[in-house]
A = this chain, B = another copy of it.
Amino acid sequence: MGITRRELIAGTAGVVLVSSATRMAHATADPLPSWNEGAAKRAIVEFVRATTDHARPQFVPVAERIATFDQDGTLWVEQPIYSQVIYCLDRVPEVVKAHPELANAEPFKSVLAEGPRALARLPEADLFKLLEVTLTGMSVEEFQAQVQSWLERARDPRWKRRFTELTYQPMQEVLAFMRANGYKTYIVTGGGQDFVRVYAEKTYGIPPEQVAGSIGGTSYGYDKNGRPTLTKDPKLLLNDDHAGKPEGIHLMIGRRPRAAFGNSVGDQQMLEYTRAGDGARLAMLLLHDDAEREYAYGPAQGLRDSKVGTFPQALYDRAVAQGWPVISMKQDWRRIFSW
């Protein structure tokens, strides 16, 4: 037992510091400081406490602690246009530079002339052409470098910030709080899995293997130096939206989530699927009702139809009827961003 006096003292000091830190944490720490007190915050805190306390019937073993989060409109701003669509539009000049024959072909001609304004009147087939040319045909590494470079350069027009700065601070706290309690946090997004993976780790603390998104195929082959490489194909394996969300969750995770957060009709099936499991389950809808600090849309504007990035009154009514706690951005969030 050759422990030295120095080790003994160091060890004892460690015990004192840990004890004291723990006691202080229990006494004072609020895991969700950007949230106002209310039903939404209580629902989250109570769910985590109940599912992590061995003594309670709602206890969930660590291996089963899976929480899924929609991204656009749930973890970061989705208005007025999804960031990934802006990325595709912004890529057009470089694509045309590499393929000058596209300069006079649609949709590239319109996008070059008008920028994002061209988007509203693009036929769906042209939109797919835009996605195909900007998101596929390159190696996985080239794509990652292109997205990374854009993220450093691009700014949101309203706040003049990087897109990765437009994450909601209250949701970042939920992610951190759940992880601190043994939950694996996943992004489950209609956006491209490879796109979101480029920044998810740095932006949300979520590693690439915990990003479930719309999945494009890749093809394995060899580059001109004979080096093995994966090329992004224009083949959609999974559209991770609506019914595709539970399907993508099964594909990527293989377990039903214990908690899920969303904000639009595209999240309805994920929330239903989550709630339909036995034991403790949490499904929450974020309502965008804060035109001043962010945007107001969906039921907050009285919209009754589904459109990109919104949820209709019917989904809101369903949430209320099924007891899914609704998060009001205006009422429940003390702040929107970290800055």
Contact = CB atoms under 8 A, between A and B. Distances in A.
Which of A14, A218, A221, A251 has the most chain B CB atoms closer than 10 A to its own CB? A251
Contacts of A255: 208-209
A11 interface: yes
A207 B16 CA distance: 37
A209 to B, nearest CB: 5
A149 interface: no
Contacts of A63: 201, 207
Contacts of A252: 209, 252
A218 B247 contact: yes
Contacts of A272: 228
A216 to B, nearest CB: 9
A254 B63 CA distance: 21
Contacts of A16: 1, 3
A159 interface: no
Given A11-B12, A197-B254, 20 more contacts: A3-B16, A3-B20, A11-B14, A14-B15, A66-B209, A140-B250, A193-B251, A193-B254, A208-B253, A208-B254, A209-B209, A211-B254, A217-B247, A219-B243, A219-B247, A220-B273, A228-B269, A230-B246, A237-B237, A252-B252
A105 to B, nearest CB: 31
A208 B63 CA distance: 10
Contacts of A217: 247
Contacts of A250: 140, 218, 230
A82 B16 CA distance: 56
Contacts of A193: 251, 254
27 contacts: A1-B20, A3-B16, A7-B19, A8-B12, A11-B12, A11-B15, A12-B15, A14-B15, A63-B207, A66-B209, A140-B250, A184-B209, A208-B253, A209-B209, A209-B252, A209-B253, A209-B255, A211-B254, A215-B251, A218-B247, A219-B247, A220-B244, A220-B269, A228-B273, A230-B247, A237-B251, A252-B252
A250 B257 CA distance: 23
Nearest to A209: B253
A267 interface: no
Interface of A: 1, 3, 7-8, 11-12, 14-16, 19-20, 63, 66, 140, 184, 193-194, 197, 201, 207-209, 211, 215, 217-221, 227-228, 230, 237-238, 243-244, 246-247, 250-255, 269, 272-273, 276
Nearest to A23: B2
A16 B218 CA distance: 53
Contacts of A247: 217-220, 230
Nearest to A277: B228
A197 B252 CA distance: 12
A16 to B, nearest CB: 5
A144 to B, nearest CB: 10
